[in-house]
Chain A
């Protein structure tokens, strides 16, 4: 009994939320065989599931391990569908430069944000950890990014985020980028104080922020 497109997308979304890699693979194959559009299958099915997982994470219902397993289920499906995406559908992705600020080597949180942003369809340029402010600026310009995201787990390194924003100002390119900050000791008050455009308390909030900004940019 063949399923309708909508039924299939809903089931794919559920498979991601339920961290079910096998079902995600099976349903993705089914979509290919049924001749449904691959891009749409990802967008309306798998990515929707990740969005739901992100919301559960935001509500503390899901935690890091669950989110990673959801991403595994998503990626398993994406890998099957990817070869079938028509080139004209591969529209320009919004680009985000991300990294852990200089002096800090704690990158688990940053990696989670990166994962969620990629799942949500952003192109993420990961500068890694212990990233000097100037490197954020230069790479954002070079990569033609729209958003810069910086994180820190150590209070002692937070001043580097401020420096990045100062450098953007000095180079006269501040207006080209939206800047978001996050991490354990970072607060919305701090973000405001250093002149960042936004703060996110977790990976899901980061995606929300990026989505909001990209709607404005469009």
Chain B
């Protein structure tokens, strides 16, 4: 007899061979357990409870019938801050998808191509969906293609994170047996659920959605389309998908109109994907005369610099520190996370915690705030070392080493500071490389636009205090939100952008940092606060 494992919150159970891990069992049931290290036992994120005792799902082998309590993802999806909206601009309404009633039937066209017919007059039921496929989060918005109005939107965590957290781990996982199929299926199921929920909110039928725009990074586009992204993860980092192309929604098992299509916006380079193209579009970097720095801060920091319509782009491997990984008390921006922090003139600290709960950890924005304040007040030196002369009540020993305590349980270690230095150093050196590429200095930058849901929760002061941005950018920082999403909507609503951006991306100067002569020196210099 095979032992049976029961997942209480999910109301699912399965019989598995003796010795199967709880993580493997969960995956067979498509239950999302976070396991960024893919079950090696190093990340400690796949915690579960059995008889109120906590275990790691990847290290727990099933030898008898057990009942498992997982962290409830639905609750996390509700408390997690996902940013659905981004800045946009005004453009004429000229959608790619059009409908035409001939007195008997309604014809659906995508550009010049006839896609299908519906009986009767359905001409006033014309919708598209903009899909932001982030590595961490998903956002869907149903757009009325007749009046351009956003009808409803939904967001949730990308369930692929359960298999592998960051982009590279996910590419790697896709290379394992059934890995690609599993990741695609997981994503498709989540998207279909979101489409149904968004449509229900909007009071429409998913059958009347005729086009989806996938605004995601290059790896996510591969996984969404079932294309193995392996070459993307190996030098010379080749993308199999260049975007500016269409896929039949039916081929991707999407529950929208049977004639529905999916548009993949053009990518800029292997590590600067369609989500950034969307951002470049809505920020109008090609049209504006100013010198503008556009950054999406995340595990990979994508950076675009525009000088009077000439663009250069790069991607910097910041690593997961900003998402709270590799940080002793790091966590995602959920309940209990310290999200902002301040030290007053008198030296006393104040901070804010997400949700009405005690502080449990520090999320990315909190990390940057804390580090920024410690650097500003000299508790951390320019070299990143905790000061030996500055006195602070919060600076105490933890296991023989100095740490800065926010509460008795939440603290920042010297090694945490080093991780932040590496992350910010990567992005800063990316900025410096682009400045060199366009023959500019930092003070010539007139405006900084920070995109992405992570960046939205940051503040300019911290970014300057830790030196992620050059000091010359003081007062020039704007947070533009989820431009992957607003750009996706722009692609839906005006077909002209498709041709235009496909050509425009080829004109962007692409900088590959690791191949850049002198990058090592630049990176090391960028580590200082």
Residues of A at the B interface (CB closer than 8 Å) are 59-66, 68, 102-108, 111, 130, 153-158, 184-185, 187, 189-190, 193
Q: Mark contacts of B78-117 with chain A using CB atoms, 8 A cut-off: 1 yes-contact digit, 0 otherwise.
A: 0000000000000000000000000000000000000000
Pick out which of these stretches binds chain A: B143-151, B472-480, B487-495, B521-529.
B521-529
| Structural contact, B401 and A59, CB atoms closer than 8 A | yes
Q: Once the chains are docked, how many angstroms separate the CA of A104 from the CA of B512? A: 13
Residues of chain B in range 479-529 having any CB-CB distance to chain A below 8 Å:
514-515, 520, 523-525, 527-528
Q: Once the chains are docked, how many angstroms separate the CA of A189 from the CA of B41? A: 8
Residue B385 at the chain A interface, CB threshold 8 Å: yes
Chain A's closest residue to B229 (CB) is A156
How many B residues are at the interface, by size bracket?
Answer: 35 or more
Further 12 A-B residue pairs, CB within 8 A, beyond A103-B233, A106-B317: A59-B401, A61-B385, A63-B527, A64-B527, A65-B524, A65-B528, A66-B383, A105-B515, A153-B317, A155-B169, A156-B233, A185-B168
Pick out which of these stretches binds chain A: B245-253, B254-262, B307-315, B414-422.
B414-422
Q: Once the chains are docked, how many angstroms separate the CA of A190 from the CA of B40? A: 7
What B residues does A193 contact at CB under 8 A?
40
**B112 to chain A: closest CB distance in Å?**
40
| Structural contact, B317 and A108, CB atoms closer than 8 A | no
Q: Once the chains are docked, how many angstroms separate the CA of A74 from the CA of B37? A: 39
Point out the residue from A66, A107, A111, A157 that lies within 8 Å of B234, measured CB to CB. A157
Residue B172 at the chain A interface, CB threshold 8 Å: yes
| Structural contact, B514 and A105, CB atoms closer than 8 A | yes
Q: Once the chains are docked, how many angstroms separate the CA of A158 from the CA of B171? A: 12
| Structural contact, A184 and B40, CB atoms closer than 8 A | no
Chain A's closest residue to B43 (CB) is A187
Chain A's closest residue to B319 (CB) is A184
What A residues does B230 contact at CB under 8 A?
156
Residue B42 at the chain A interface, CB threshold 8 Å: yes
Closest 7 CB pairs of A and B: A156-B233, A103-B234, A60-B414, A105-B514, A155-B168, A60-B415, A189-B40
Q: Once the chains are docked, how many angstroms separate the CA of A66 from the CA of B381? A: 13
| Structural contact, B524 and A64, CB atoms closer than 8 A | yes
Point out the residue from A68, A107, A187 that lies within 8 Å of B524, measured CB to CB. A68
**B46 to chain A: closest CB distance in Å?**
14
Point out the residue from B235, B414, B417, B520 that lies within 8 Å of A103, measured CB to CB. B235
- B37, B168, B169, B528, most chain A CB atoms within 10 A: B168
What A residues does B234 contact at CB under 8 A?
102-104, 156-157
Q: Mark contacts of B159-198 with chain A using CB atoms, 8 A cut-off: 1 yes-contact digit, 0 otherwise.
A: 0000010101101100100000000000000000000000
Q: Mark contacts of B34-49 with chain A using CB atoms, 8 A cut-off: 1 yes-contact digit, 0 otherwise.
A: 0001001110000000
Chain A's closest residue to B386 (CB) is A61
| Structural contact, A65 and B383, CB atoms closer than 8 A | yes
Q: Once the chains are docked, how many angstroms separate the CA of A158 from the CA of B520? A: 22
